[in-house]
Amino acid sequence: MKRSFPSRVRINFLIVVVSLLAAGCMSTSRQTIHQQGQLPPPGSFVFSGIDPGERRAEFAAGLIKALEAHGFGGADRGPYLVQIARSDRPGGVGFLAPAVPPEEAEAMPGPAARPPRRTERVRQLVLSINHASDGQELYRIRGTEVYRPGKADDGGIRLAEMMIAHIAGQ
């Protein structure tokens, strides 16, 4: 039986609509890299940032290796202070109850709120190089990634790799 022209148009229309809806539900991440200043001349640096024992330290190690490839090296003292920070939005809330001695400080996270499932999140990685003596910022590179949690989320590794490639290209 031959289908009429209007039913073929409806079927094609439904295929297009379903394809567009499926594409809208796919998880994609968008990354951008912004840089301020130029890398200073190579030298030794003091590192301040993410604790190397943390699970998230993998991307920090990659950024440090990129600096070392440019002739920078970690030390107890040096002309530069290298700082690495990571933030995720929306983020949790809480507070730190200070104590004397400091190792007895207690972190008190707020109640866990589940964000809506389809909410996009924003992750930001920042690497800055400052003069250790006066704190003047010499170089900053910031990577920003918009992603949906749970789908193709690598915890910031892909974003750190883009930042490393940007540093390597200088």
- Going from N- to C-terminal start, the domains of the chain cover 34-89+118-170
Average pLDDT value for residue range 35-49: 84
96-113 pLDDT, tens digit each: 666 566 666 666 666 555
pLDDT of residue 97: 65
Q: In the chain, pLDDT over 70 holds for what percent of residues?
A: 63
Does residue 68 carry a pLDDT above 80?
yes
Average pLDDT value for residue range 4-19: 70
Does residue 36 carry a pLDDT above 70?
yes
> Measuring CA to CA, how many Å separate 134 from each of 80, 137, 139?
10, 9, 14
pLDDT of residue 15: 78
The CATH number corresponding to 34-89+118-170 among 3.30.530.20, 3.30.160.670, 3.40.50.360, 3.30.365.10 equals 3.30.160.670
